[in-house]
Structure 1
Amino acid sequence: MTNPAAVEDVPIGGDDIRLGQFLKFAGLLDSGGNVKEVIADGLVTVNGDVDRRRGRQLQVGDIVGFEGHRVRVSH
């Protein structure tokens, strides 16, 4: 069983990335259509708050949550 409090670091190789890109890059979703839908439906959080902006710029240290997974943007 996965620890719900655990946060997985996902290195992006830069300083920022858009939320939609990050969801695919981190392996949480596999298609742009799915990304658009789950963000619009309010199923994604950034730093604990629902964010419905697919183009939101994430910075290193931001934590994205989706379906019980929490992943942190890292270098």
Structure 2
Amino acid sequence: MTPSDPPTDARRLTDLEERLTHLQHLLDQLNAVVLGQARQVERLERELANYVTAVERLAQSGLGEDLPHEKPPHY
């Protein structure tokens, strides 16, 4: 087949199948990335909730209220 010859139906079908295969592979890779990010977001949300709970406990305990409100020495 020369560059001026139109592609045959078989060649066009093969090209489409190759493109589809590459797109399916790309989709699988992107799904893996999204799943990993979703897991990371869930982990970070749990971690943030733990920090919020810890800060709330410290605020309720009154810890640090008796400290003087002075500027640090480097001011």
For the superposition of Structure 1 and Structure 2, which TM-score range results when normalised by the shorter chain? under 0.3
- Structure number with bigger Rg: 2
Greater fraction of residues in helix: 2
When the two structures are superposed, what TM-score results if normalisation uses the length of structure 1? 0.16
TM-score for the superposition, normalised by structure 2: 0.16
In proportion to residue count, which structure has more strand?
1
